[in-house]
Every structure is written in structure tokens, then in C-alpha cells.
Chain A
Amino acid sequence: MSSARDTVLGRIRDALALAPTPPVVVPRAYRTGRALPDDERLALFTERLLDYKARVHPCTADRTAEVVGEVLREHGARRIGVPAGLDARWLAGYEGEVRQDHADVPPARLDALDAVVTGSAAACAETGTIFLDGSPDQGRRALSLVPDLHVCVVDLSTVEAGVPEAVARLVPERPTTLISGPSATSDIELERVEGVHGPRTLVVVIRTDA
């Protein structure tokens, strides 16, 4: 008896032989390569983030520590987690406990954190989406998932206008997470409700000159 693999591939070849169709050329007439001026990208990105109930704090890079500190204080975060590669200067305005994450920390321990602060790989203004790709300033996926507050620092220079431009920035082999607002569900009467399993609060610090 042949393997399931051979059988399934054989069936597919049979099917295509029984019902041959002409080759297809994919038309890509949709918008790509869009570039918007900084102020327009910032305005669009902010509007879309707010629309999906993320909180937004635009600031200049030199105020990063101040804003991050304020946000954490405001939410009463006394113990936070950070990825190993996070710029330590961003936390200069924070006085609580900082735990640097590493792969051996069991996920259950992350549940004891009040918040997590990460950087980001890219973003999409039109959809209000942030892309994390596991780079050292973003850490492993569990870190930005388990704590209930996610403070994400996004440099405006990494914010692209649309989805194609943002996807082009990604490195396929990296574990990548697209985040658009806090966790939400439409499962009750198809009405969107924020706050289920992922972080219930997403704060985006947009560095307008970085």
C-alpha cells in the first residue's frame, strides 16, 4: 500500500489531468508602493488605532522614557516584563520592577506581570496594525501576549501607508504577529467587544521623529 502522501499527490495529479485549466496570470492592479508624508501617515495611523480602541501617545524620541513611564504609572503597573534587547533608556522614567525575559521563563510566570514594553518591526497606517517579528527589542511571542497591558513603541519611519508596503518589510522566517488594537471578539451577536484573552489594553507610543 502506498503512503498517504503518494496517494494524495497522485489524486491531485489525477484531478488536474481530468479537469485541466489554462495557466493563470495574477493581476496585481491593487495599490502598492504607496508613500504618504509623515503627518498624513501619523494622522491615519492614529485614527485607525483609536478606532479599534488602542490608546495612542505620539511623542518625540527624546521623550520616550517620560511617556513610557507615565503610561505605566497611569495603569498602576508595578512589575513589568521586557525583551532582552529593549533599549534600557526607554525605562528611565519607570520606577517599578523590571524583569528581563528569556526563553527559559515558563509562560505561567509571565502571568504575574502587570505589563510588557516592546518595540516593533513595522506598522500599517491604513489598518492600524503593528507587526512584531521576535527581534531582540520585541522578544518572544509569549511575552507580548500574556500580560494584560502591552505598551508598544513604534517609530513613525517604520509605519507604512498600506498593507502591501508593510508586508514587504517582513522577514518570512521570523515568527510574526500582527496586532490591531487590543484583543477583541465579535462572537456575541457579531458585535465587537474589546478584551478577551490577549492584552486587554494596548498602548502605542509613536515616536514621530524616529
Chain B
Amino acid sequence: MRIGLFATCLGDTLFPDAVKATAILLTRLGHEVVFPPGQTCCGQMHINTGYQREPVPLVRNFADAFGDASIEAVVMPSGSCAGSVRHQHPIVAERYGEPALRAGVDAVAAKTYELSELLVDVLGVTRVGAYFPHRVTYHPTCHSLRMLRVGDKPLRLLREVEGIDLVELPGADSCCGFGGTFALKNAETSTAMLHDKSDNITATGADVCTAGDSSCLMHIGGGLSRIRSRTRTLHLARILAATRTTPDVLTEASV
């Protein structure tokens, strides 16, 4: 399959390893990964902060970058960006865009997937040949869980990873407190949520806390780093990309 990879602005700029892992994983599974260079940002931060006019060019940019019919599916290692593309781009295009934009947005939204959805629903795989001999706990990010309804797809993928010691995260479905600019505008409330999440993660004794969204992992990882926790955060794509011959290096707190 010819798959368009959307790196997301956060992934492209700050957490490229998760995006690299996504590209490597899909290539390893026999697919052609293309990276349309015109892509930038989905505009989620703007929209969630209350700005819908400003991101119109970003929405258009996204639809243009991935509108090419030769791209059969668009994937992104982020539940919240996929949620924005599917749920928010149509709203913005309808309100502030021209009819052609609305049509373009709908067409791209219909083939847009978060990584675990693409693997399980579209490509029909759960065993991806990964090897990851570490104790791992999984945090289902809010937008993956409740906006995209990925359900247990990430867990089904993780369960098939060779060598993994997968442990359940208490209070898993509670928000980590990130919420984009929420973490700035309501920093204290966000921190209270983060502390509870960190406590639950630490209690699992996991080496790694994984999730399908670099933004949530940035938040959780930032909190774990501050309390000097031994648990690291690692994007789901990196676990799935790791193999016996090309293991992931667990030396950094990077996502």
C-alpha cells in the first residue's frame, strides 16, 4: 500500500524518533511510505485554543499535501492529530473555507488513520515482528480512546510483541492532564492530574510507559523526569519498530 506519512509538527520538530519508527515499521511490513514535503501542522492547537480562522491555511495545506489519489491511506503517530483531521477539519472548512476545501478535507479525512488503526483495521496485522524485552505499561490517550475509539487495538499490537512484559496501568483511561494549552492556562489543575498519572505509572514498576501520542508522552515524560522516575516514555511506534536485529536504544528520556 502507498501510505502518506504525516509527521505532525511536534513529531517532525521535537520527537522525530517516533516518526522514524513509524516509517521504518511500515516499510518493514512491505509498504511504500511517502512524505509529502508540503506538510506542516494540522492546526489542532489553534482550534482547541479557540482559533478557527487562523488554521484555515493549515487545513488547506494538509488537504493539498495528502489529497493525491495515489496516496491510499494517511497515517500519523498521533491520536489527537488524527482526531483533529477527522473531526475538526470539516468544521473549520465548513465555516471559514470554500466548498472545494470542504470536499478536499472530507476526502482526506476518510483515509486518515492513527497508527494502530492503520495497522489493525486497514492492514489487518497485529503481529508486526517486534521484539522488546522490557516491562511496559500502556496509557491510552484521551483522543485515541474517546475521539477515535481505537479501543484495544494498541494493546492487541503490544501483546504480540516478542519478549514484552505488558502490565496494566491503574486508572489508565484518566487524562494525564495535558490538553494542549490547558497545561499552560490551568497549569495547577493539569499538574494535579499529572501527579496522579505519574503515581499510577510508577506503581506498575514498568521500564517504559507507552502511548500513541507524542504530546501526551511529552507531558508524562516531563513529569516523570522531574520526579526522577526510572520509568521512561516511548511512543508505541518505537516499540513496534524494535526488532532483535535493530533494537530501540533505551538510554534517553526522549519519546
Q: Do chains A and B touch in the complex (CB under 8 A)?
A: no
| Chain A residues at the B interface, C-beta cutoff of 8 Å | none
| Chain B residues at the A interface, C-beta cutoff of 8 Å | none
